[in-house]
Amino acid sequence: MSSYLVSVYHNRTGQFEPYTDGEWLTGAIRCRVQLAAHSTPHDVADWAFQTFNADVDPFNGLPSGLPPGEALAAWVYRLVSLRSLSIGDVVAVDADLNGTTWWACEPDGWRPICAPNRIDQPPLHVDYVRPYLRGQSAVDAATVTEPDTEVHRLCVFDLSLDCGHIATVAVNGWHPVNIACCDRLGGVIVHGEYTAYFSTIDYVDVLSERYEHRQPAAGREPTIVLRRRPRGDEPRQPSWRGEPTSAGRFPVRVGATWHITHKACR
């Protein structure tokens, strides 16, 4: 068996048309997969297409009939509301000693390309989500009690924020009432460290809720933002004649950055 690091990038510019140099890509997902030793990068790209087009219901847990690593990758992909891998998207295959190759999804297969230079955010690594998918469902946890333990609630949420993003957040506990997402609403710089102002949560969608019994005073996973995406109507220019444009609805307000110096903090 050989190990490959697979990264999927969705095309933000093209409308399911073949990728061309200079188009904007956004990181979707990244995972490590074990395939047969004789597998080629083209075979790995085929694996990615099959896995990230699998018919998976994230609310039914890991899909059956797939190897554990493949099942987890497919589950997380759908759990965080990623669309299917399609024409115009790009897959990077890192074969460790043999380096990284890039493949664009075409109507008739894959086309090798040079490394893209317009990527707005890195892919979400499956391992970041893995700790929040352990344990039991709410129904199973209610029927099992373990003495001298405490129950930890491990959740993944989609949070619709007033900054104009939907943030997918993993939490040990319940969802927060606000969260620092981006710099659209402004922020503060203290001693050279920038911190964004919190965005208010308008709506909450529970993507996953698991329960795990742990020893008392066991550590808790930190709250992390897994990915973010527009709530819908961000400002955009037409990419072809006749395409509808939008002035955008969000954010609800525009902020600025405050600088707090050493002298001001005394």
Instruction: Decide: 19 and 104 in contact? Cβ < 8 Å.
Output: yes
pLDDT value, residue 71: 82
User: For residues 41 and 3, what is the distance between their CA atoms, to the nearest angstrom?
Assistant: 11
Instruction: Decide: 198 and 179 in contact? Cβ < 8 Å.
Output: yes
- What letter represents residue 248's amino acid? G
pTM above 0.75, yes or no: yes
pLDDT value, residue 159: 93
Tens digits of per-residue pLDDT, 39-94?
A: 899 999 999 999 999 887 665 656 555 666 678 888 899 888 898 999 999 999 99
Question: What sign does the dihedral 165-116-224-142 (CA atoms) show?
Answer: positive
Length of the chain as a residue count: 266
Low-confidence ranges of the chain (pLDDT < 50): 264-265
Q: In what order do the strands lie in the sheet with 257-260?
A: 193-196, 187-190, 257-260
At which residue do the structure tokens 């061309």 appear? 20
Neighbours of 168 (CB within 10 A): 23
